[in-house]
Amino acid sequence: MQPKGVNRVVIAVKDIDGAVEKYTRLLGGTFHDLSTGAEPYGARVFINWEAGIELCSPLPGRNSYIEQIISKRGEGLMGVVFCVDDVDEAHARAKELGIGIVALIEYDRDYIEQHLGGRFRKYKEYMLKSGDLHGVGAIVGQIEPK
């Protein structure tokens, strides 16, 4: 397995519409609404691939992970997405190290075409338990451009 660098930072916010507007005005680029895939986790998500920023906010009344983070630490940096060339090997290494998995996010071809503009060949991420990684919300992903 080889590291491929940081894909993006993940920022937890209360007002996602305001945050999208602010970061768009600050950095430019386009934020893509990926909330459809995030709703099962009780979240709204927007990603600016060019800027390397993911903004996420909790859906009201869902007691989501993001809501818990904001309640505990406030808004701000929630995690970092590290890309690797073999995410399943990274997952196996995490298990060997006793690092828990919070969630698996994997998009099939249809979802990639419909919601990600067809920009990826493969998209699979494991969200790792921050308590096992010195408080860092690390995500390992295999995100292969088309």
Residue 134 has pLDDT above 90, yes or no: no
Q: Tell me: the pLDDT tens digits for 14-61?
A: 999 999 999 999 999 999 999 988 898 899 999 999 999 999 999 999
* pLDDT (0 to 100) of residue 116: 87
Residue 50's CB: how many other CB atoms inside 10 A? 11
Domains annotated for the chain, with CATH where assigned, are: 3-145 (3.10.180.10)
Please list, in sequence order, all residues whose beta carbon lies within 8 angstroms of the beta carbon of residue 29, skipping any fewer than 6 positions away.
Answer: 48, 49, 50, 51
Nearest to 59 by CA among 24, 12, 107, 101: 12
Cα–Cα distance, 9 to 6 (Å, whole number): 8
Q: Tell me: the pLDDT tens digits for 101-123?
A: 988 999 999 999 998 889 999 99
* pLDDT (0 to 100) of residue 115: 86
